[in-house]
Every structure is written in C-alpha cells, then in structure tokens.
Amino acid sequence: MANHIEIDRDRCKGCGLCVASCPRQIIELGRDINAKGYHFAVQVDPSRCIACQMCAVSCPDVAITVYRGRK
C-alpha cells in the first residue's frame, strides 16, 4: 500500500485547515456532505502524498490518519 490518508468524514467540520496545510495540495473539500451537514475533506491524488503528517496535525477534530507506504 502506498502513502495515503484516511479522513473520518463524520468527524470533519469542513474547516479547510487540512486543505491549506498540505504541501502537495492534494486535499479538497468535496461536494458531498456528511451527517453533520458539512462538506467534508477528501484526498484527491493519493499517489502524490508524501505522508508528511501536516494534514493530520492541522486537523482540530483529529479526523485524519496518515498511512506511510513502503515505496
């Protein structure tokens, strides 16, 4: 499995801090809404993720888990 993140959509409040923090600019707020009525964040191009953890650290709701791949 390559680098990627998982976002707990129902923890997300759509604040956009992770979007701003990602040095690869591969997180966006999506079109769909979660159970709380927020546009939740999604990772749009996992193949470019460097597993730097910036998104996870920036999230005030601890909604993001980063997985570091083997390659």
Q: By CB under 6 A, name the binding residues for ligand SF4.
A: 5, 7, 12-18, 21-24, 26-27, 41, 43, 49-55, 58-59, 61, 63-64, 66
> CA-to-CA distance for 33 and 48, rounded, in angstroms?
25
Helices of type H across the chain: 17-21, 54-58
CB of 7 to ligand SF4, least distance (A): 5
Placement of tokens 């769909």 in the chain: 32
**Cα first-last separation, the chain:** 8
CB of 30 to ligand SF4, least distance (A): 10
Q: Of the two residues 33 and 50, which places its CB atom closer to ligand SF4 in the complex?
A: 50
